[in-house]
Amino acid sequence: MRVLIDTNVLISSEPTQVSDLEQATTISLDLARLAAGSHQLLLHPHAVEEIARDKDKDRRAIRLQTMARYGVLESPPDIQPELVQEFGEVDRSSHDYHDHELLAAVYGDAVNSLITQDDGIHRKARRLRVESRVLSLQDAVGLFRTLAHQAPDFVPSTRWRPLHTVPFNADLFDSLRADYGGFDEWFRRSARDGRSCWTVDGPKSALAGVCIVKPGDDEWHLGGSVAKVSTLKVAEQHKGNRYGELLLKALFGLAFKDGWDATWVSVFPKHGELLALLDAFGFRRIGTTQLGETVLAKRFSPAAGWNVPDTPLEHHIAFGPPAVQPRQSQTFMVPIQPRFHDGLFPDAPSRQPRLAGLPPPSSPYGNALRKAYLCHAPIRSILPGATLLF
């Protein structure tokens, strides 16, 4: 694969002093190790210009030297008219112009993917419908691990459990303590109230992810049976394994089992990756809290005042999964070898007898709700939103 990396990924990969060391640096080194020999990491030509504008002379010299280990994208595409139409004209000296150049390389098929930690680029990629090819650093590492057939460090265990059985002093909650004063007291009070949650358990019972829900909370007047997602969090060191989607899969399953009409969650704008994940699965922004959090809601069936999607794909995103709106002319049977089926769909009914007592999948594509399957079938009539039966 040819992969374009943004300057922010380059900087985290090449710290110039001890104070620059951060968790992203470790992940960036994993990316470089996994990409070596099989994939080509490229810089946009204008990235050199951006680094050359650094006013710190010593740091600039170091980074210009370390950039030599990466290739440079040859003849990058100009910014296409579609991008200008979508985002408008921007000044050539602006940061937005550089962002649009990176997106132009993806949109113009000069590279397979772009890796960036810039939330603004991810939002624009969704508007261009190329979001599956614009990856965060963690997701890129997960993808390369999959392509290299390298298993994660452990096999996760996902379970529904009482909140009082979860250690409130787990490292995973540190960032929540920083965001919310009194988090520990809220956690203890919620445990005493009998709240439950989904967890993804890591090595030595350390938490890799958690989803805490509060049924019966309709603070935003969505109507019917409504539950609040109080917490949805994946530990930084486990991002890229699709545990966020694994937790959402469990949440949606519970919603359909218990007949929820809607659910909602509040997220600080700085958590761009979480906002992008929720946007991708049909959560709609409906307001802002007094703390400045963005409030997002998702319905599981149409309701008054809620736009009804026009296409099967939009219906599936808005109200599912698993809600589908199949059309007979767009339903296809897809033959698939058992080993690929078991990897993609480890929780399929046909697998249940073999899975009894075993933990859930260990591969990102098994954890994910969004999946890709490549085959040699010469079919050109499949449209977005078609129903595929594997």
The reply to whether 282 and 384 lie within a common domain is no
> What per-residue confidence (pLDDT) applies to 362?
58
Instruction: Summarize pLDDT for 1-23 with one digit per residue, the tens.
Output: 899 999 888 777 665 555 555 55
Instruction: Summarize pLDDT for 89-111 with one digit per residue, the tens.
Output: 999 888 899 999 999 999 999 99
- Domain end (from 147, 174, 205): 147
The reply to whether 245 and 98 lie within a common domain is no
Which two tokens mark 264? 């909602």
Instruction: Summarize pLDDT for 245-290 with one digit per residue, the tens.
Output: 999 998 998 898 889 999 999 999 988 889 989 998 999 999 999 9
The reply to whether 207 and 79 lie within a common domain is no
pTM score, whole prediction: 0.71
The reply to whether 304 and 249 lie within a common domain is yes
The reply to whether 275 and 347 lie within a common domain is no
The reply to whether 194 and 310 lie within a common domain is yes
> Is 211 part of a structural domain of the chain?
yes
- Domain end (from 297, 319, 341): 319
Q: Give 153's pLDDT tier (boundaries 50, 70, 90).
A: very low
Q: Give 151's pLDDT tier (boundaries 50, 70, 90).
A: very low
Domain count for the chain, please give it. 3
| CATH classification at residue 46 | 3.40.50.1010
The reply to whether 26 and 56 lie within a common domain is yes
The better pLDDT of the pair 305, 151 is held by: 305
> What per-residue confidence (pLDDT) applies to 349?
67
Which of these, 177, 251, 259, lies nearest to 210 by C-alpha position? 251
SS (H, E, C) the chain: CEEEECHHHHHHHCCCCHHHCCHHHHHHHHHHHHHCCCCEEEECHHHHHHHHCCCCHHHHHHHHHHHHHCEECCCCCCCCHHHHHHHCCCCCCCHHHHHHHHHHHHHCCCCCEEECCCHHHHHHHHHHCCHHHEECHHHHHHHHHHHCCCCCCCCCEEEEEEHHHCCCCCHHHHHHHHHCCCHHHHHHHHHHCCCEEEEEECHHHCEEEEEEEEECCCCCCCCCCEEEEEEEEECHHHCCCCHHHHHHHHHHHHHHHHCCCEEEEEECCCCHHHHHHHHHCCCEEEEECCCCCEEEEEECCCCCCCCCCCCHHHHHHHHCCCCCCCCHHHEEECCCCHHHHHHHCCCCHHHHHHHCCCCCCCCHHHHCCCCCCCCCCCCCCCCCCCEEEC
What mean pLDDT comes out for the span 48-53? 76
Q: Is pLDDT at 388 greater than 80 in this prediction?
A: yes
The reply to whether 300 and 332 lie within a common domain is no
- Domain end (from 147, 167, 200): 147
> Is 122 part of a structural domain of the chain?
yes
> What per-residue confidence (pLDDT) applies to 149?
59
Percent share of the chain, pLDDT over 90 = 40
> Is 152 part of a structural domain of the chain?
no
List the beta bridge partners of residue 115. 5, 135
Instruction: Summarize pLDDT for 214-256 with one digit per residue, the tens.
Output: 999 999 999 999 999 999 999 887 887 888 999 999 899 889 8
> What per-residue confidence (pLDDT) applies to 248?
93
> What per-residue confidence (pLDDT) applies to 140?
87
> What's the mean per-residue pLDDT of the chain?
84
- What is the residue range of 174's domain? 157-319
The reply to whether 345 and 224 lie within a common domain is no
Q: Is pLDDT at 145 greater than 60 in this prediction?
A: yes
Rg, C-alpha atoms of the chain: 22
The reply to whether 351 and 213 lie within a common domain is no
What mean pLDDT comes out for the span 313-337? 89
User: Is residue 369 within 8 Å of residue 248, measured between CB atoms?
Assistant: yes
User: Residue 125 is which amino acid?
Assistant: A
The reply to whether 32 and 165 lie within a common domain is no
> Is 288 part of a structural domain of the chain?
yes
> What per-residue confidence (pLDDT) applies to 150?
54
The reply to whether 205 and 256 lie within a common domain is yes
